[in-house]
């Protein structure tokens, strides 16, 4: 690691532009943060829109930085993907999410984001099996969120992994649905249990007829395929009313709760029980 730091200084001096330097700095600090194990998942509830109950939580990585405060994932996930650090980051999030969730009530699930890169470089199946075994979490309480980028690769290996995960009882969610450029044909060949409608379609749902038509189509698609439909980024009562009217199953967003650290989760679940 010492050599690497020395190498870095000469690299900085050699006239990289400011943006490249700041990325390089973030990369070095991120590698260090992963090594020191300071990245933590925060958890945002998934709400059953017919009962109002919490069905589970999505794990979202947080990086508490000594000078910069809490750095949002948008500022380091792309760098982690470019540098390969996403493997170690993803493994750590999966482990932490499973061991946190193992202490939650039995019916509460945890959803973990998986980068397409993790499927490309690592053995996702053994990664997941290890995390489940270490934590004692039942596979049926784990959901993995993947994106269209992954299914677009049309890899037999990826397909086999997804089938094997499902055979274990792990659920597969299609994240950010509607933002990719793929055709719908992959819905036939790829196995999943849930579709998450991207928050760009939820925004202005109450006022925007086009957004309403899109959400309505996705909900009916989901019903036809027998998969759960979750709306992301629900911020207002008006959006919630529309989603209920369209028969959307599940919601997630600031209206219900911001992502919160694990210490808050048990209290959140207790408050729901008492309500
Ligand atoms: P995502 O998977 O689509 O996660 C949802 C994002 O929307 C989260 O941003 C969440 O905090 C935010 N959000 C939730 N409700 C609302 C709302 O009502 N309004 C608005 N405006 N935003 C809302 P976050 O935590 O900043 O994460 C951003 C992205 O970073 C995630 O998008 C995901 O793609 C990626 N990410 C986060 N954690 C991980 C991780 O552990 N592994 C990987 N591979 N990617 C991650
Ligand atoms: Ca997600
Ligand atoms: Ca999403
Ligand atoms: Ca997203």
pLDDT tens per residue across span 85-141: 999 999 999 999 999 999 999 999 999 999 999 998 879 999 999 999 999 999 999
Question: Which residue has the least CA distance to atom 21 on ligand 1?
Answer: 233
Give me the mean pLDDT over the 223-242 stretch: 95
**Ligand 2 mean position to 174 CA, how many Å?**
9
- Residue 1: is its pLDDT beyond 50? no
* Weakest-pLDDT range from 11-25, 46-60, 153-167, 209-223: 11-25
Most confident of 117-121, 173-177, 188-192: 173-177
**Ligand 3 mean position to 54 CA, how many Å?**
18
Mutate which of 30, 63, 71, 73 to test ligand 1's pocket (most atoms within 8 Å of Cβ)?
A: 73
Long-range Cβ contact pairs of 113-116 (< 8 A, separation 24 or more): 113/58, 113/59, 113/60, 113/61, 113/145, 113/175, 114/90, 114/144, 114/145, 114/146, 114/150, 115/77, 115/80, 115/81, 115/86, 115/90, 116/146, 116/147, 116/149, 116/150, 116/153
- Residue 18: is its pLDDT beyond 70? yes
pLDDT class of 182 with cuts at 50, 70, 90: low
Mutate which of 60, 74, 97, 131 to test ligand 1's pocket (most atoms within 8 Å of Cβ)?
A: 60
In this structure, the residues whose C-beta lies within 6 A of any atom of ligand 1 are: 44, 60-61, 72-74, 77, 90, 93, 113, 115, 175-176, 199, 232-235, 253-254, 259
Residue 37 Ramachandran class (φ > 0 left, ψ -120 to 50 alpha, else beta): left
pLDDT at 8: 52
Q: Which residue has the higher pLDDT, 206 or 83?
A: 83
ipTM over 0.85: yes
């Amino acid at each position: 690691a010492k050599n690497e730091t020395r190498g870095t200084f000469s690299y900085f001096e050699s006239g990289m532009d400011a943006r490249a330097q700041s990325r390089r700095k973030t990369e070095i600090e991120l590698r260090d943060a992963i090594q020191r194990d300071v990245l933590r998942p925060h958890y945002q509830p998934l709400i059953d829109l017919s009962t109002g109950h919490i069905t589970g939580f999505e794990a979202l990585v947080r990086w508490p930085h000594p000078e910069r405060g809490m750095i949002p994932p948008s500022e380091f996930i792309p760098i982690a993907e470019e540098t390969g650090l996403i493997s170690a980051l993803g493994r750590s999030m999966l482990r932490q999410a499973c061991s946190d969730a193992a202490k939650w009530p039995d019916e509460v699930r945890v959803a973990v984001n998986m980068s397409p890169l993790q499927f490309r470089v690592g053995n996702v199946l053994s990664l997941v099996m290890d995390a489940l075994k270490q934590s004692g979490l039942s596979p049926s309480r784990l959901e993995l969120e993947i994106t269209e980028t992954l299914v677009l690769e049309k890899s037999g290996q990826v397909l086999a992994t997804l089938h094997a995960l499902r055979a274990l009882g792990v659920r597969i969610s299609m994240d950010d649905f509607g933002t990719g450029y793929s055709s719908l044909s992959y819905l036939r060949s790829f196995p999943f249990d849930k579709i998450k409608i991207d928050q760009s379609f939820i925004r202005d749902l109450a006022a925007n007829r086009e957004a309403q038509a899109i959400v309505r189509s996705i909900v009916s698609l989901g019903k036809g395929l027998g998969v759960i439909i979750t709306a992301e980024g629900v911020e207002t009562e008006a959006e919630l009313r529309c989603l209920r009217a369209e028969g959307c199953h599940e919601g997630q967003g600031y209206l219900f709760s911001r992502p919160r650290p694990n210490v808050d989760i048990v209290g959140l679940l207790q408050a729901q029980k008492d309500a």
